[in-house]
Amino acid sequence: MRKDPEALRREPPPRVRNYHWTNHIELVVSIAAYGLATPYKPFAHLFGFVSFEEQHGDWPEVLLLGAALIALQATYLRIFRHSEQPVGHHIHGLVATSRTHPQSPRSRFHLR
């Protein structure tokens, strides 16, 4: 069932519709963490690779900080916002996408 063009023009794009105020907090925390971690190098001092970072740059620090931020966000979402996310929400999205974009039958690639 198609929506009329007038309704589509009034509807905000998906990236705006799904934006939540917590995304602002996540952005501010990430910027602050990267801003503090780059000059102070806490992971380099903790794990002892200060001389490595002096020769090769800050990429290990940025990589470890990114992994730590991802782990913290996953833990926060799992503990505090678990009730807001329905069980299997990612599977429902995949099913909806597969229904709206049917795949054509695939033919085999022959080497001869």
pLDDT tens-digit readout, 40-90: 889 898 988 889 988 988 899 999 999 999 999 888 888 887 666 555 556
Alpha helices by DSSP H, listed for 18-108, are 22-40, 42-47, 50-56, 59-79, 89-100
The answer to whether residue 67 is domain-embedded is yes
The answer to whether residue 66 is domain-embedded is yes
The answer to whether residue 106 is domain-embedded is no
* Residue 91: C-alpha distances to residues 37, 80, 87 (Å): 36, 21, 9
The answer to whether residue 101 is domain-embedded is no
Please tell me the predicted confidence (pLDDT) of residue 21: 74
Please tell me the predicted confidence (pLDDT) of residue 69: 94
The answer to whether residue 99 is domain-embedded is no
Q: Which two tokens stand for residue 31?
A: 């910027």
Is the confidence at residue 1, as pLDDT, over 70?
Answer: no
Give CA angle at 91 (71, 12), nearest 5°.
85
Q: Which two tokens stand for residue 90?
A: 């990612």
- pLDDT confidence tier of residue 32, bands split at 50, 70 and 90: very high
The answer to whether residue 83 is domain-embedded is yes
The answer to whether residue 80 is domain-embedded is yes
The answer to whether residue 79 is domain-embedded is yes
Is the model's pTM score more than 0.75? no
Helix, coil or strand: residue 91: helix
Q: Which two tokens stand for residue 55?
A: 């020769």
CA–CA dist 78, 85 (Å, integer) = 9
| Structural domain containing residue 70 | 20-90
* Total count of domains within the chain: 1
- Rounded to the nearest integer, the mean pLDDT of the chain is 77
CA–CA dist 2, 4 (Å, integer) = 6
